[in-house]
Amino acid sequence: NGIDAHKAWKFSVGTRDVRAGVIDSGISNHQDLAANLDDGYDFYNENAITNDDSVGHGTSVAGIIGAVGNNGMGVSGVNQKVTIVPLQIDGIASEDCDFRSNVINNAIQYATNTWLGDEKISVLNFSISGFGIADAIKSHIEAFPGLFVWSAGNKGENVDLKENISEFNLDNLISVGAHDRSNERSVWNSIESSNYGNAVDVFAPGGGIPSGNQDCYTTSAES
């Protein structure tokens, strides 16, 4: 109930006309995602195989975004109807994203290019660290015509203290932190907790939420 999605679902459960790109580790085949999943691309291996999610992170993120609503069986994504496009970058990028910036930029550019056709990706999700320091991908985000949603990070840091944080105040970028059931900043263990600060635009449920085999996960590669 952290975002009161059940109230919003009384008006709409989403639409597959909205296409959301997930820049992550790929999206495994999963019964709760199949109806909402479209073809994408693996920019690391340069092929169209995107269901070989070896770490499960991208699959879990996709489930939060758009696992189908199935009458009480399993769980539901925030959008029960949406079109999810896997934009695979192979595994989880490093804290600064710089070592894989060319692959990430290729994924963002791919989504930007879709705005020239009928299957535009209007939202990009990037649930990987680097907000406030990943300068190498910033210009590509700024050039993307749609909305870019970026995790604020899980190091327990005040992002306002990052040297170039003001440069990440882009019109099309939303940074997202995590809160727990008590609406407090999420703390997962002794070394991992949600980043925070005025530069974090919104906080959403992320921690201590039994929605799968890990906190705030709806689907997994093992399910």
How confident is the chain (223 residues) per 10-residue block, as mean pLDDT? Answer: 81 95 94 94 95 91 89 77 95 55 95 95 94 93 98 94 96 95 89 94 75 36 40
Calculate the alpha carbon distances from 27 to 11, 31, 155, 173, 196 in Å. 28, 12, 25, 23, 28
E strand map for 1-152: 14-24, 41-42, 81-88, 123-126, 147-151
Residue 1's pLDDT is 52
In this prediction the pTM is: 0.89
Q: What is the pLDDT of residue 72?
A: 57
Predicted pLDDT at 100: 76
pLDDT value at position 91? 60
Output the pLDDT for position 215. Answer: 36
Taking residue 173's Cβ as centre, other Cβ atoms within 10 Å add up to: 19
The predicted pLDDT at position 3 comes to: 80
pLDDT for res 96: 47
DSSP annotation of 67 reads: P
pLDDT of residue 75: 72
